Amino acid sequence: SQSPPCILQLSRKTSCYNRSWGGSKPRRTHNSMSAQISLTLLPSARCLFDEPVQVKVAGLRSNQLVTLRARSTDERGVVFNSSASYRADGSGEIDLNRDASLSGSYVGVEPMGLLRSLKADTSHKYFYKDKALEPFMVNFSVHEEEEGGILAEATNERRLIGDGVMRVPVEVGNIQGVLFTPPEGPFPAVLDLGTLMSEKRASLLANKGFIVLALPIFIGKPKLERMNLDDFEEAVKFLQNQPKVGSKGVGVISQSKGADIALSLAAFVPGVEAVVWINGCSASAVLPLYYKNRQILSALKFDMNKVISTQSGAFIIKYAMHDSLKEENKASLVPIERASGQFLFVASEDDFNWDSKAYMDEMVDRLKRHGKENFESVSYPEAGHYLEPPFGPYCHSSFHGFVGIPVLWGGEPRAHAAAEVHLWSKIQEFFRTHLDCDKTETKSKL
């Protein structure tokens, strides 16, 4: 069957584009009781991962009580489920954009609540959806309240990579990543630093009109002796040499351990013009940093004795780092006051992995003392550590591969989900503002 048509629009200034697909009709059950009941996903059953859908049910009895369910399986084969009870209106309709859940995985009006509340049956599971070529498939269904039989269902195909975006694995020198390039150009260039390899954020940014190299901090089983900034400088230069790159400098987006690497790139490597720092440290965390064969930053150490246990079986590691402001630890602080590029600092105030808000406040104070104005900051009071592109399942706790224990990530689920929506827009605006492209108008041939 033919793929649905793709509408592609490029804006002249930012070279950002939007896509829309036609979608398949929702599946319906065909027994006599439910033949007229439909579950519809609008505007389409196919969309990008970071786009909301409107879930509507029609054909129910007036004021009928039903359960809506969502189900998805991650890349490791773990099944995630969510459910919520709704009462139809007088016309026998339910609209998740309008109606409140009465009970279940969440309560109240939350249009994308079934997605963000997807949860595995076993504890401490993170939803792995990191491969760009495989869509996030979610089955929505509506069930009779008492007997639980399926009245209608529809499948939402949530794509990570848009039509026309090229995905190319890169193994050059010390670079082992994946490059995403939108059609046409020129575009701003962004280096996406993840703790481990994930294509999700990079591919979604490419859909918005950026050339993005997804690069893990650690490859395979990491060697925990030191970090080499030269490897990441190599990635910056690789991006600068891409023919479709129109920005004068490179942007870097980072989270957790990748965040202090991003700060170091801004401080020591030419051509880094815009850095998004999300929930990380202001010092070289855990490992010393080397550049051009000499140590430039000592390691801020981690103390397992300061890990806090909880009844859930997961641990809080937020307070296990040594104090970066003590005299003996100041050599680990990244000298961001040296940087000429722009910073966007993002901190979740309920982050249980890092004391992110304290690190952000320290950096803001330090830049102000040096008379610098090349930064902006945003904090989210009830958000947790894992700030990701919006509309994925919220992760309460999961196994921490480097600490070797399950950890709590923090956050109130609904507030965390709202923070992800707000931040995703802010990240794109920040990069478009500070990674200026060729102003020549670019038109699509599609």
* Known active-site residue 422: no
Residue 157 scores a pLDDT above 60: yes
The catalytic residue among 247, 256, 264, 282 is: 256
The helix (H) or strand (E) run that includes residue 142 is: strand 136-144
The helix (H) or strand (E) run that includes residue 380 is: strand 375-380
Tens digit of each residue's pLDDT (9 = 90 or more) over 211-232: 999 999 987 655 678 999 999 9
Domain limits, CATH 3.40.50.1820, in the chain: 166-434
* Known active-site residue 370: no
* Known active-site residue 351: yes
The catalytic residue among 192, 260, 351, 355 is: 351
pLDDT at 46: 98
* Selection from 138, 140, 147 nearest residue 65 by Cα: 147
The catalytic residue among 385, 396, 416, 434 is: 385
Looking at domain 6-159, which of 3.40.50.620, 2.60.40.10, 2.60.40.2240, 3.40.30.160 is its CATH number?
2.60.40.2240
Q: Give the range among 9-18, 103-112, 196-205 with minimum mean pLDDT.
A: 9-18
pLDDT at 445: 30
Tens digit of each residue's pLDDT (9 = 90 or more) over 51-89: 999 999 999 999 999 999 999 999 999 999 999 999 999
Residue 249 scores a pLDDT above 50: yes
Phi/psi of residue 304, nearest 5 degrees: -60, -20
pLDDT at 223: 61
- Computed over every residue of the chain, the mean pLDDT equals 90
The helix (H) or strand (E) run that includes residue 414 is: helix 413-434
Where residue 402 falls among pLDDT bands split at 50, 70, 90? confident
Say whether pTM exceeds 0.75: yes
Domain limits, CATH 2.60.40.2240, in the chain: 6-159
Fold of 166-434: Rossmann fold (3.40.50)
